[in-house]
Amino acid sequence: MTPASARSPTRVHLRHFSKSLPMSLLRAREAVMRHFRPSLRRHGLTEQQWRVLRALATVPDIEVAGLARATFLLGPSLSRILQDLEGRGLIRRAASPGDLRRGVISITAAGAALIETVTPSSEAIYRAITQRFGAEKLAALQALLRELEEAVADLDTALPDDEPQAALPHAGKAVR
Amino acid sequence: MTPASARSPTRVHLRHFSKSLPMSLLRAREAVMRHFRPSLRRHGLTEQQWRVLRALATVPDIEVAGLARATFLLGPSLSRILQDLEGRGLIRRAASPGDLRRGVISITAAGAALIETVTPSSEAIYRAITQRFGAEKLAALQALLRELEEAVADLDTALPDDEPQAALPHAGKAVR
DNA sequence: CCGTTTCGTTTAACACGTTAAGTACTTAGC
DNA sequence: GCTAAGTACTTAACGTGTTAAACGAAACGG
C-alpha cells in the first residue's frame, strides 16, 4: 500500500488542489463504492445495472424516462443498459398502449431473484459503513449534500448559463 | 424543465433508494460539475484533462504514478490522457534517468498558457458556488467527506476484503 | 551472468458519461 | 389529411472508468 513514488522531491503541494469540492466528492464516493463493486461484480452486475434493477423492484413498471430520472442515468446510458438486461432476461419491455413512443419497463422473476441474491451482502456493507462513520454524521452529510445540490441548482437562474462569451470556434484541435 | 412522465401512476416510492449514500454523492458532484463543464469544454478540455494540467502546474515535473495519485485517475485513464495532451503540445514527457521505466511529465508553455486562459472563469464559478452555499457549510461538508473517506478506508482492515465466498465462476453471461 | 520476479507503464476490452444526431411516433396548424 | 413541430427513445462518436493482461526495465537469486 505504500506509495511507489516517495522519492522524487517534486511533490511540494499538489495537495491543495485535491481539496476542491468536486475532487472531495469524487474521492468520497469512490471510497464508498470500492466496497460495493466486488460484490456486485461477482454477480455479473455493474453499479449502474444494479441501480436499474433496484429501481424496477420498487414499482410494477415504469417508463424509460422515469427510470432515467430515478436511477440518475442519462438516456443513452440507460438505453444500452436496458438492452443488456433485457438480453439477460432480467427485465421486460413493452410499448405503452396509446403512445407507442414510450417504452414501459418491468422486472422479471429472474431479475427479482437476482436482487434477492445480491441484497444481503449489499446491505451488510452499507450497515458496516453506517456503523463505522456514525448514523448521525451520515444524516448530517446527506443533509449537506442535498442543500448543496439545491444551492448550485439555483445558480442556473442566477447566472444566464455560464458566461458572457461569444461562441468562438475554439482554437485547439477540439473536443470532438 | 417539467418532467415528462407525470402521468403514469407507477411512481410510488423510488425516492427512498435515491437517498443511498453513493447516489447522494453522485448527485451532488454532478450538480457541481454541471457548472464547470461548459467552460472547460469551450477550451477543448475534459474535466480529467483539466485536473492533469492543474496538477502539473504546481510542480516542475512529476512521475506518472505520482500524477495518477494527485489527480485521482487510474493508470490506464492517465496513460490515454497523457498521450492526448502530449499530442496537443500541452505537456512534455521524458524518461527518468536511472530508471527508464519511469516517465517524468512536465507542462509546456502552451499548457501553462491554456491554464491561465481557463482559470478565471473556473474560479468565478467556484466563488459563486461557495457564496451561494456558504463558506462554513462548505468547510463542514469537506470535513465530513474527509472523515467518511477515512472511515470507510478502515473497513478494509476490519473485513478481510468483502465476504467469505468461494471464487465460483458466476453463472450469468458475465461481466467480461 | 542468466533466469525469475517485481515494478512502472501501457494496451486491450468492455461498460458508462456526455453531447449531438437520428428515428419513430404524436400532436398541432392549416 | 398533410405537413410541420414536438416528444420519447435510440444510435453514434469519443473520452473516461475499470479490470486484466502485456511489455520493457530493474532487482534478485542462483
Interior angle at CA A91, CA A67 and CA A33, nearest 5: 60
| Strand nucleotide closest to residue B78 (CA to C1') | D16
In a domain, A4, yes or no: no
Cβ-based neighbours of B167, under 8 Å, separated by 6 or more: none
* Cβ atoms of residues A90 and A45 within 8 Å: no
Interface of A with B in 144-173 (CB under 8 A): 144-149, 151-155, 158-159, 161-163, 165, 170-173
Asked if A14's CB is within 8 angstroms of B55's CB, the reply is: yes
In a domain, B35, yes or no: yes
In a domain, A85, yes or no: yes
**Averaged pLDDT in 10-residue chunks for chain B of 176 residues:** 37 62 94 92 94 95 96 96 97 93 96 94 91 94 95 71 38 34
Mutate to test the interface with B, among A53, A138, A162, A176 (most CBs of B within 10 A): A162
Report how many domains make up chain B: 1
* Cβ atoms of residues B101 and B143 within 8 Å: no
Amino acid identity of residue B150, one-letter, is: E
- CB contacts of A148 in chain B (<8 Å) are 28, 31-32, 133, 137, 141
- Could you check: is the Cβ of residue B88 within 7 Å of any atom of nucleic acid strand C? no
**pLDDT for B19:** 79
Mutate to test the interface with A, among B72, B81, B152, B163 (most CBs of A within 10 A): B152
Mutate to test the interface with B, among A115, A148, A176 (most CBs of B within 10 A): A148
- CB contacts of A53 in chain B (<8 Å) are none
- Could you check: is the Cβ of residue A71 within 7 Å of any atom of nucleic acid strand C? no
Distance CA A96, CA B156 (A): 47
- CB contacts of A158 in chain B (<8 Å) are 128, 132
* Cβ atoms of residues A93 and A85 within 8 Å: no
In a domain, A106, yes or no: yes
* Three-state secondary structure call for residue B1: coil
In a domain, A135, yes or no: yes
Measured CA to CA in angstroms, residue A34 lies from A29, A121, B23, B162 at distances of 8, 14, 14, 10
In a domain, A116, yes or no: yes
**Residue B4 contacts A, CB cutoff 8 Å:** yes
Q: Which domain holds residue A41?
A: 21-155
**pLDDT for B157:** 63
- Read off the C-alpha cell for B45: 478540455
- Could you check: is the Cβ of residue A78 within 7 Å of any atom of nucleic acid strand D? yes
**pLDDT for A166:** 38
- Would you give per-residue pLDDT tens digits along chain A (176 residues)? 333 333 333 444 455 677 799 999 999 999 999 999 999 999 999 999 999 999 999 999 999 999 999 999 999 999 999 999 999 999 999 999 989 999 999 999 999 999 999 999 899 999 999 999 999 999 999 999 999 999 998 776 655 444 444 333 333 333 33
Which chain B residue has its CA at the smallest distance from A41's CA?
B175
**pLDDT for B170:** 34
In a domain, B3, yes or no: no
The CATH number of whichever domain residue B119 belongs to comes to 1.10.10.10
Using CB atoms, pick whichever of B25, B30, B172 lies closest to residue A28.
B25
In a domain, A108, yes or no: yes
- CB contacts of A28 in chain B (<8 Å) are 25, 145-146, 148-149
SS (H, E, C) B83-106: HHHHHCCCEEEEEECCEEEEEEEE
**CA closest to C24 C1', residue:** A101
CA of B99 to C1' of C2 (A): 21
